[in-house]
Structure 1
Amino acid sequence: MSAPASLSAARSGVFTLGTLLIAILGGVSAELIGFPAGWLMGSAISVSIAAILKFPLTVPDWLRDLIFVFIGVSIGASVAPNSLELLGQWPVSLAALALELIIIVLVTGWLLTKLFKLDAGTAYLSSFPGHLSFVLGIAATGIGNARQIVIIQVMRVLFLTIAVPIGAMFLPVQAPDLPAAGDPLSIAQILLLALCCALVGLVFVKLKIPAGMVLGAMAAATIAKLGGAYSQPLPDQLVVTIFILTGALIGSRFIGITWLEFKAAALGGVIATAVMLVIVTAMAYGVAQLVDIPMAQIWLALSPGALEGVGALAIAMGYDTAFIAAHHVIRLLLLSFAIPTVALFIRRLEAKEKGH
């Protein structure tokens, strides 16, 4: 290796370590103050701020691809093994949940394209109510403007965190005794799963599927989980590491962002979330007319995120937590299929427009 090339590699290594250090510090800080999705959003925001302040940042291609693989692994591993069985329960509210997600994505995406003039990729990825790490992972592959998407999604999480559980502050909430989690996957199992996910991801990339590495890894991990190949969760340390790395990758895309872009995206996030809450409320009211379940319980089940606050309210108000949890599991399962479907449609639409 020539001297200039060696110097460039060393500089890139230093910049990468600096990026990861900023991400770690941001994640730790956000987690300590109780920021929603702290490890992910703290690292993304801290690296984003550093990028805006012109810090030298970089995420090399090899690390980017590794992050993509483990994003897919984490999503697949988080799917409950009995997710498909839950589809047969509470058919009216589950049908309302599916319809609600379609309406939210269509209305919010249309609103962001027409009112805020965002491109289709940015608008529709910003409109998904949940699966934040998956949305940001796909955004990092080049679909939409990742910088605007992360701002809008941050506003959604923050707004929901305030709007949904605010009543829990005034109720005597006692944390339930949760069953002990099973032993996590071993290092050998993780490496084998990651290898299989990477191979499927490479096949997806070869087939020119949008966000192929992420989607291929997710598909492999999800099919293996639902097929009974494994049932253990990922180790907490690995999940935290994946969140931090994803945040660093997303934050590095904030290089060159203007304050005008930030203001437009932040306002879009607040308005988009308000629209989501209106849709959820209307849907919950409609379902309550058809089933003998309290509207508030239905509303919590159909809530587009903020699961921690939803759970606290459900416990405090004596609602059926199994009903609520099942709907949130199904919401994430539906989004796991809806997000790549929309991403594929957007990529083909963009290709068609370029062809003309």
Structure 2
Amino acid sequence: MIAIPLPWMIGSMVTVTVGAMLKLPLALPNRLRSVMVVVLGIMLGSGFTPAILPQLGDWALSLSTLVLYVIVSGAIGIWYFRKLCDYGPITSYFSAMPGGLSEMTVVGGEMGGDSRKISLTHAWRILTVIMTLPFLFQLWLAYDPATRPSVGLPMTEVPLEDMALLTACAVAGYFIAKGLRIPAAAIVGPMILSAAVHLAGWTTANPPSELIAVAQVVVGAAIGCRFVGISLAFIGRSIVAATGGTVILAAISLLFAWVLHNVTGLSFAALFLAFAPGGLAEMSLIALSLSLDSAFVATHHIVRIFIIVVCAPLLFKILQQLWGDPRSEQAE
């Protein structure tokens, strides 16, 4: 078996994409996708626990710098995809965000961007970073790759009261966000309520591992269904563009880690993992294997994802006024 990040999502996305390329009659209801996106929102919110609160003071500077990191990397990425790759403004914007494969694909598609290009950009970024970093750290710090930890407990081991609370967060979060017309309500609303109840200490549970796996399969399959009739040449061009974007993000991450290391004295390796454009679980595992502060790395990735998922759609609405409400780019 090949150990890749986000295996359920990327595996289903690749498989359905191949089927689409073979012109199989593939389709997936949008309503089912929305329900599964709610599950991913609950999962993201469950990363905020009371254990991180006492340590936030020591991490204040690096955590606050994440806002600048997102702005700088996003701005440079937008310029790169817009000017050098000839992507439309919406697609460039959501492709350039430094994180969130499923979140940026879902939100970008809803806003009119080309979700095929966005999903390929983020999937390739994650694959490249996760499959490259272990080898680099093996050379630098004798890192020995290990098996990735699973997310969540089996469904039979999650207490019923926790399941009820998470379900309430999912339902209430979605409808509250929908009622307030918050962009990407299916992700943002449940994530905010989930974060609140976890920070309050009311629960420590994640959604069941089986449900998380199903959610990733459905979201990945939904992405793959968008490739019906798309040529291999299109995929190849998208990967070439994504590689350049990944190199840019990695270089910016290295720069931020170096500057913060010199200013704060924090470990350069931990800072680089905290800012690296990879997955939360995978970057945290590498930190744990290197005897670095895995909570430090995980918290930075959680905050980065939170900033992107909450702020990116809102900022897009502002920029959309400057762009003159561009047309949908799905057919580009």
Show the counterpart of 2:13.
44
Deviation at 1:206, TM superposition (A): 4.7
Cα deviations by residue, 1:64-109 (Å, 9 ceiling, x for unpaired)? 3322332333322343345555432223332333322221111112
Deviation at 1:43, TM superposition (A): 0.8
Larger mean CA deviation between 319-328 and 272-281 belongs to 319-328
Show the counterpart of 2:227.
254
1:191–1:245 distance in 2 versus 1, CA, 3 Å: farther
Larger mean CA deviation between 286-295 and 50-59 belongs to 286-295
The alignment status of 1:147 with 2:116, answered yes or no, reads yes
List structure 1 runs of 4+ shifted beyond 6 angstroms: 180-183
The alignment status of 1:133 with 2:106, answered yes or no, reads no
The alignment status of 1:173 with 2:144, answered yes or no, reads yes
2:191 partner amino acid = M
Give the Cα–Cα distance (whole angstroms) in 2 for the partners of residues 99 and 165 of structure 1.
27
Give the Cα–Cα distance (whole angstroms) in 1 for the partners of residues 163 and 322 of structure 2.
36
1:240 aligned to which of 182, 204, 213: 213
Show the counterpart of 1:63.
32
1:307–1:269 distance in 2 versus 1, CA, 3 Å: same
Tell whether the 8 Å contact from 1:210 to 1:343 is kept in structure 2 after alignment. Answer: no
Matches within 5 A, 1:255-334: 255-307=228-280, 310-311=283-284, 313-315=286-288, 317-334=290-307
Structure 1, unaligned runs of 5 or more: 1-31
Flag the structure with more relative contact order, 1 or 2, with Cα contacts below 8 A and sequence separation at least 6.
2
Show the counterpart of 1:54.
23
1:173 partner amino acid = D
**TM-score normalized by the length of structure 2:** 0.82
Tell whether the 8 Å contact from 1:200 to 1:217 is kept in structure 2 after alignment. Answer: yes
1:79–1:140 distance in 2 versus 1, CA, 3 Å: farther
1:246 partner amino acid = V
Tell whether the 8 Å contact from 1:210 to 1:347 is kept in structure 2 after alignment. Answer: no
Cα deviations by residue, 1:152-211 (Å, 9 ceiling, x for unpaired)? 1121012111332213446263869x9x98886445653564355335424544554433
1:307–1:147 distance in 2 versus 1, CA, 3 Å: same
1:142–1:64 distance in 2 versus 1, CA, 3 Å: farther
Q: Give the SS at the match of 1:218.
A: helix
Matches within 5 A, 1:173-212: 173=144, 185-186=158-159, 189-190=162-163, 193-194=166-167, 196-212=169-185
Give the Cα–Cα distance (whole angstroms) in 1 for the partners of residues 289 and 188 of structure 2.
38
Tell whether the 8 Å contact from 2:134 to 2:143 is kept in structure 1 after alignment. Answer: no
Tell whether the 8 Å contact from 2:40 to 2:215 is kept in structure 1 after alignment. Answer: yes
The alignment status of 1:108 with 2:77, answered yes or no, reads yes
Matches within 5 A, 1:2-13: none
Tell whether the 8 Å contact from 2:39 to 2:207 is kept in structure 1 after alignment. Answer: no
Show the counterpart of 2:330.
none
**Structure of greater Rg:** 1
Structure 2, unaligned runs of 5 or more: 328-332
2:209 partner amino acid = D
Give the Cα–Cα distance (whole angstroms) in 1 for the partners of residues 280 and 15 of structure 2.
24
1:129 partner amino acid = P
Give the Cα–Cα distance (whole angstroms) in 1 for the partners of residues 237 and 229 of structure 2.
15
Q: Percent identity?
A: 26
Give the Cα–Cα distance (whole angstroms) in 2 for the partners of residues 314 and 343 of structure 1.
33
Tell whether the 8 Å contact from 1:155 to 1:266 is kept in structure 2 after alignment. Answer: yes
Tell whether the 8 Å contact from 2:188 to 2:309 is kept in structure 1 after alignment. Answer: no
RMSD: 3.2
Tell whether the 8 Å contact from 1:122 to 1:146 is kept in structure 2 after alignment. Answer: yes
1:212–1:175 distance in 2 versus 1, CA, 3 Å: closer
**TM-score normalized by the length of structure 1:** 0.77
Aligned residues: 321
Tell whether the 8 Å contact from 1:51 to 1:255 is kept in structure 2 after alignment. Answer: yes
Show the counterpart of 1:99.
68
1:167 partner amino acid = L
